[in-house]
A = this chain, B = another copy of it.
C-alpha cells in the first residue's frame, strides 16, 4: 500500500491550520465548515478541503469538520502526539532564548540539554537545564535518545558541528546558523535564516516605496 506523496506546500500550511483549530477549540467552537475557516484564515475554502483531504476524510457532508477531532488528527500528522528529545548546541543569545521558552515543551519538544564550548558557561543552568561541555555530547545524545539538535553557534563552526552531531546519532537539525549544511539524505534539516527574512522585508519596503513614487508620477 503506497502512500501518496504530500506536497511541501501543504505541509507548510498544516501548522497554521493546527494553530487556528487550537484557538477555535479553546474558545469552545465544536464544528466548523471549510467556508467559515476560509474567511478566518484568508485562504480559499477549496484549498482547505483539498489540503485536509490529502490525509483522509476528516469532514462530513452537510456538517463540516469537528474542531477537536481535526485538531487531534493534524497533531498526529505533525507528530505532536509523541515527545521529541532536543538539545541546543550553542548557549549564546539565541540558544538561551530558545532554552528559556517553555512553550516548546507543551508541544512535546523536550529540551534535554544545552551544550557550549565556553568553559565559563559550564554548569550554568537555563530554566533548570544545565549547560554542558562538548566532550559530554556523544554520550549524552546516546543516553537521551536525542533526535533534534538546535544549532545556534557561529556559522564558521556550524558545518563541522553538524557532522559531529549526525555522527553521534542526531536525526534532525534545526539550523539557525547562516549557512547551508551538507548532510546525508536521511538527515532532516530545517533552516531558520533570520537575516533572509529581514532582507525580504527590506525588499518589500523598497519596492513599495518605488511603487508609490511611480503612482505620484501619473
Contacts and interface: CB of A to CB of B under 8 A. Distances in A.
Interface stretch (A57-65, A95-103, A135-143): A95-103
A107 interface: yes
Majority-rule SS of A interface residues: helix
Interface stretch (A28-36, A114-122, A157-165, A171-179): A171-179
A36 to B, nearest CB: 16
Contacts of A211: 3
Contacts of A11: 200, 203-204
Interface in A187-203: 188, 190, 192-203
Interface residues of A, number: 54
A198 B109 contact: yes
A214 to B, nearest CB: 8
A1 to B, nearest CB: 8
A153 to B, nearest CB: 13
Nearest to A182: B42
A204 B188 contact: yes
Given A15-B195, A190-B200, A197-B190, A172 B205 contact: yes
B200 A107 contact: no
For this chain, the copies found in one complex come to: 2
B203 A174 contact: no
Nearest to A77: B203
Contact of A12 (B84, B195, B200): B200
A84 B202 contact: yes
Interface in A1-55: 3, 11-12, 14-16, 18-19
A86 to B, nearest CB: 9
A207 to B, nearest CB: 8
A216 interface: no
Contacts of A171: 205, 208
B204 A80 contact: no
Given A82-B206, A84-B205, A172-B201, 13 more contacts: A15-B200, A78-B199, A78-B203, A84-B202, A94-B101, A97-B97, A98-B194, A107-B199, A147-B205, A171-B208, A174-B198, A188-B208, A190-B204
